[in-house]
Amino acid sequence: MSSALTNLTIGDCRSLIEKREVTALSLAEEYYAHIENQDARIGAFLTLSKERALQQADRTDRMAVEGQLLPPLAGVPVAIKDVMSTRGVRTTAGSKSLATYIPAYDCTAVARLEAAGAVILGKTNCDEFAMGSSNENSAFGPVRNPRDRSRVPGGSSGGSAAAVAADMAVAALGSDTGGSIRQPASFCGVIGLMPTYGRVSRYGLIAFASSLDHIGPLTKTVKDAATILKTIAGRDPLDSTSADVRVPDYVAELEQPLGALKLGVAQEYFGEGLDDEVRHAVESAIDRLKSLGCEIVPLSLPHTAYAIPTYYIIATAEAASNLARYDGARYSFRAAGVKSLSEMYRRSRDQGFGAEVKRRIMLGTYALSAGYYEAYYLKAQKVRTLLARDFQEAFRKVDAIVTPTSPTAAFRLGEKSDDPLAMYLADIYTVTADLAGIPGISVPCGETQQKLPIGFQILGKHFDESTVLRIAHAYEQASQTAS
């Protein structure tokens, strides 16, 4: 199991380093030793960036020795999902097509973490191009759930969730297009926050579906999620979709009393397919929030039933277009022994992409093709607007909405891999927030009889991560005192 030194929060790291009880260098080394011990069993990391990490730790230690004011994440060991570009460090997106790709620049979110003092330990395993809900679509093998190694950690940010859950990183970055931060967080028993669309720059994020992609933190505590969000949020001139909206001090706002917040509970999120143990745990979480003074408001989000087909048309259409760039001509995998340019494209893509990615490219290309565009893509865009309007209506009446994160706890490796539809249904409660562009967080709320973590989700208004975090924090504090 973990030594005390790897079971830390951001605040713990900071105070240890500030008081000079531990150096950033020894802390990084401690985490690497733990990764070396544990990760053969879990498979969370694809690449370790030791040289870069130790140089960064050394910079922090020199600042500490000189008595300089330390930045907010000084010496905090973090892990980065391998869909975010890291200068000089291999970035694969879980795909054979990028197995040897070494970016020349950093993703803005990574650069901001590092500028705040964080130590980037390495890159975490994920479903290929973030397409999946179990991490089984990685070209580099699955990740195992640290709570039960016969089960999946969720996906697509499975490596990031497992790394935090198994104390191999204090925090991690993940990406969420249809649930990929929140669902693995719930399967592994950690916090996962998807910010509002546009809140965090995606510069340097390997694109899956550009109108849905988000970067956000996976952490052990809500406060740590607030700290990371504060660090990475805000306008970035390198990403024209990043919003020029004031970034509040999420950490300071956590402590504001909840007051009489109105929490919506939508019947559509508690229907068929929801596992009984998950339902009970989420209902108890709602009861606890009620006892903290929140008013529970039953409501309806009537277009929810269309979310999965809508998502799987829009996401695949955008993916088909985004993935056109992996043609073997420049940085992606190139097939050997080809005789013509078109054969190079064909064979490189055939050999470089895995089955799920090919399925998505075909689905997306079909949905965009002449003759079908109106029936599928255009229709999906219209339904997306209806789904977003459901939330707009609801947020006229309530401050936030509480739902399960996933219909079940972690499933077994292989359980759904031959049934894409069953796998897609695992995203039923998460894709809606991506489609509407609103923020959402998954917070642990107990476990099944088999000791598998259960998570519940809090959804908020556009750019109102503060309220979402505040509710999550109040719940977390109350459950710690209760247990």
| Burial of 396 from C-beta contacts in 10 A (0-12 / 13-18 / 19+) | exposed
Nearest approach, Cβ of 194 to ligand GLN (angstroms)?
Answer: 9
In degrees and rounded to multiples of 5, residue 295 shows phi and psi of -95, 130
**Is 466 an active-site residue?**
no
- Closest distance to ligand GLN from the beta carbon of 437 (Å): 14
Side-chain-side CA neighbours of 300 within 13 Å: the count stands at: 3
Nearer to ligand GLN among residue 315 and residue 317 (C-beta): 315
Catalytic: 81? yes
Q: Among candidates 53, 73, 49, which has minimal Cα distance to 124? A: 49
Q: State the catalytic residue, choosing from 81, 223, 416, 461.
A: 81
Q: How far is the CB of 335 from ligand GLN (least distance, A)?
A: 26
Query: By C-beta, is 206 or 261 nearer to ligand GLN?
Result: 206
Is 479 known to be catalytic?
no
Residue 266 CA, chain-centre distance (Å), reads 24
Neighbours of 197 (CB within 10 A): 23
Q: With respect to ligand GLN, which residue has the nearer C-beta, 14 or 151?
A: 151
Closer of 133 and 322 to ligand GLN (Cβ): 133
> Both tokens of residue 146?
């640290």
Instruction: Please give the residue ranges that form the binding site for ligand GLN (CB under 6 A).
Output: 130-133, 156, 175-180, 208, 315, 427
> Catalytic: which of 160, 180, 201, 348?
180
Query: Tokens for 401?
Result: 């909405």
Measured from the CB of residue 371, what is the shortest distance to ligand GLN in angstroms?
A: 25
Q: Of 156, 242, 332, 406, which residue is the catalytic one?
A: 156
DSSP E strand boundaries for 154-253: 171-176, 191-194, 214-219
Q: How far is the CB of 323 from ligand GLN (least distance, A)?
A: 13
Smallest CA-to-CA distance from 76 within 159, 11, 161 is with 11
Amino acid at 112: R
What is the strand order of the sheet 440-447 is part of? Answer: 45-48, 119-124, 77-81, 171-176, 214-219, 191-194, 440-447, 453-460, 400-404, 262-266, 295-299
The residue (of 28 and 225) whose beta carbon lies closer to ligand GLN is: 225
User: What amino acid positions are annotated as catalytic residues?
Assistant: 81, 156, 180
